Amino acid sequence: MKRLVHGLLGLTALVMLGGARDPILVTEVSQHTIDLQQGFNGTDLLLFGAVLTPEGSRAAQDYDIVVVLKGPTQSIVLREKQKIAGIWVNAASTEFRSAPSYYAVASTRPIDQIVDEKTAAIYELGLKWLQLSPIGAIDPEEQARFAAGLVERNRDAGLYREDEGGVSVSEQVLYQARIRLPSQVPTGKYTAETFAIADGRVVASASSDVEVRKLGIERAIANFSENYGLAYGLLAVFISIGMGWLAGRLFALV
């Protein structure tokens, strides 16, 4: 009888463990549309939500949360400058097929303390693990150098950001993170992804879309430049020449 009771208890424990399910993420952003108008100085985007059990109750354990905001990908050519005979000239170059125009990541703690490098690379959790996809054959060391240069340039411009500890979690349920969008933020469709991580494993994820668009005269100019590139270029040249001529005339009268 005693052996039977122990067996039933063990079976019950296995059933309970087997029935344990991963949590679900409820996510939201403070703005689904960001309008760029004259005088736009940047804005903060709030990403928030909750970690719940499938039944809708509070999760039974703490989870690390990582949020990633990524802008439209683009193909970009990166050139390296080299000083020859006292003159800076273009030297080596490479082209990346899928560089995000904007990338920001915030987490409850440093990424390398949450997941291993393989998992970080799969989900692109951090600037170190961005998959930029160079075009053509390139030496791995040279590729790493160019990738680091691209990340540094965009980080200096405020377009690439990392905020370790930028996600706060309350009562094992509610989380939030603020991500800064600079005044020169590119337009297009952005994806805000949230990951819940436990024991180095992504156990739940969810995403929301954010559209950054231009309005007013800025939108009209952008549409004109995209649809009539040659005319836009010629008009820009004529305006520059005209402004230079007008400035010369004004100074001559002084």
Residue-wise pLDDT tens digits, 101-126? 999 999 999 999 999 999 999 999 99
Q: Name the residue among 68, 92, 100, 101 with its Cα closest to residue 192.
A: 68
pLDDT tens figures, 207-237? 999 999 987 555 555 454 556 566 656 666 6
pLDDT tens figures, 150-209? 899 999 999 999 999 999 998 888 999 999 999 999 999 999 999 999 999 999 999 999
Q: What CA–CA distance (Å, rounded) separates 83 from 97?
A: 28
Sequence-distant (≥ 6) Cβ neighbours of residue 151 within 8 angstroms = 127, 130, 160
pLDDT value, residue 43: 92
The answer to whether 197 touches 66, Cβ cutoff 8 Å, is: yes
Question: Mutual orientation of helices 216-227 and 229-253 as an angle, nearest 10°?
Answer: 120
Give the three-state DSSP class for 24: strand
49-57 mean pLDDT: 83
